[in-house]
Each structure stands twice: as C-alpha cells, then as structure tokens.
Amino acid sequence: MLEPHLVLGVAPNADEATLRRRYLERVRENPPEQHPQRFAEIRAAYEQLRDPTERLKRQLFAVESSESLDDVIAELRLRVQGTRIPTTILFSLTGN
C-alpha cells in the first residue's frame, strides 16, 4: 500500500491545516458514493496522518527523514500545547 502522505498528495511533514484542506479536496474529487474504494483509502491515510502518535512514530522511523530528533521533539511539544484544553472550557465543564 502507498505511503499515507502520497495517497493524500502532501509533504510528509505537512501541518494539520494543510492535511485537512487536502483531505477535503480529495474527498470532493472522490465522493464515497462514486468511488467507495478510493474514498476509503483517502480516509484511512488521513486518519493515520492526523493521529499524533502515528505521526511521531513515522517521523522517528522514517528513513528519508531529514529532520533531526530535536525537530521532531519540538514539533511534538508544539502539538501537545496545541491540543491542551483551555482553562475556560475546563471551568465550563465543572458546571456553573
């Protein structure tokens, strides 16, 4: 099977916004109704690429990766910061 980033047609280190934009484009070109098989591949590739653990694993073990480990860790840190739940939402969850 093709590498997920090749299925979507993005660079291996594409950021989340690019991933999302490209995924939507590919889905519009290949609606599940008309191309179920192709859609399933696109979807599977997108799910793999956006999963942070999968992403990290791939980057760590990617042979052609030109990035240094420091880059990977820096990106991961950024991602973890990005997914942190804002305190306002935490407060709203506790009610009143």
Partner 1 sequence: METILGIDLGTTNSAVSMIRDGKAVVLEEDGQKILPSVVGLDGSGKLLVGFPASNQWTLAPDRTIRSVKRKMGSGETVRLGDQTYTPQEISAIILRTLKERAERLLGQEARKAVITVPAFFNEQQREATREAGELAGLEVVRIINEPTAASLTYNPNPEQLQRLLIYDLGGGTFDVSIVQTEQGVVEVLSSHGDTQLGGDDFDHLLMDFVCDKFREEHKLDLRAALTSRSRVLKAVEQAKCRLSFDAFTTLQEEFIAEQGGVPLHLNMELSRMDYEPLIEPLLNKTLVRVDEALSDAKLTAKQIDRVILVGGASRTPMVHRLLQEQLGQPIHSEVDPDLCVSMGAAIQGGLIAGVDLGPVLVDITPHTLGIQCLSERHGFPSHYHFAPIIERNTALPASRSEVFGTCFDDQEKVLINVFQGEHSDVRQNEAVGGIELEGLANAKRGHEILVRFDLDLDGILTVTATEKMTGLEKKLTIDNVMSRFRSEDREQAKQRLEAVFSGSDAAAAAERQPPTPEPDEDLSPEIKGPIDKARELLAQAERLLDDANQQDAEEMQELIDQLREAVNARAVDDIQDVSAKLDDLVFYLQDAL
Q: d(Cα 72, Cα 78) in Å, to the nearest integer?
A: 10
Q: Output the CA torsion sign for 21, 56, 73, 80.
A: positive
Contact flag: residue 33 with partner 1 (CB under 8 A)? yes
Q: Which residue has the tokens 């420091």?
A: 70
Would you give the binding string for partner 1 spanning residues 40-59, x where CB under 8 A is met?
x--x----------------
CB of 42 to partner 1, least distance (A): 10
**Smaller CB distance to partner 1: residue 60 or 90?**
90
Contact flag: residue 9 with partner 1 (CB under 8 A)? no
Two tokens at 42? 């696109």
